Amino acid sequence: MTTREEVDPVSAVCPECESPVQTSVQLRLSEVIDCADCRTELEVVAVEPVLLALAPEVEEDWGE
Ligand SMILES: [Zn+2]
């Protein structure tokens, strides 16, 4: 089989530092990734095109 999979890295821009963020191809909505540059957590708010937003800060204490 000669299936050619062209995997284009999806690039988006970090809303925090405006650096291009390379993301995986199979992004899903609401997925949270880290900006490699500023380490900010970014939430995927849209795909095609990928749009990132600052992820809401999750408090570590979930009140368990
Ligand atoms: Zn950043």
pLDDT in tens, 8-53: 566 789 999 999 987 777 888 999 999 989 999 999 999 888 899 9
- The rounded Å distance from CA 4 to ligand 1 centre is 32
Of residues 14 and 7, which shows the higher confidence score?
Answer: 14
Residue 60 banded pLDDT, cuts 50, 70, 90: confident
Task: Report which of 54, 37, 58, 36 is spatially closest to residue 45, judged by C-alpha positions.
Answer: 54
Query: For position 26, what pLDDT does the model report?
Result: 80
User: Please, are residues 38 and 17 in contact by the beta-carbon 8 Å criterion?
Assistant: yes
Residue partners of 9: CB distance under 8 A and separation at least 6: 22, 23, 24, 25
User: Please, are residues 44 and 28 in contact by the beta-carbon 8 Å criterion?
Assistant: yes
Task: Report which of 20, 21, 23 is spatially closest to residue 7, judged by C-alpha positions.
Answer: 23
- The rounded Å distance from CA 3 to ligand 1 centre is 35
- The rounded Å distance from CA 6 to ligand 1 centre is 26
- The rounded Å distance from CA 64 to ligand 1 centre is 31
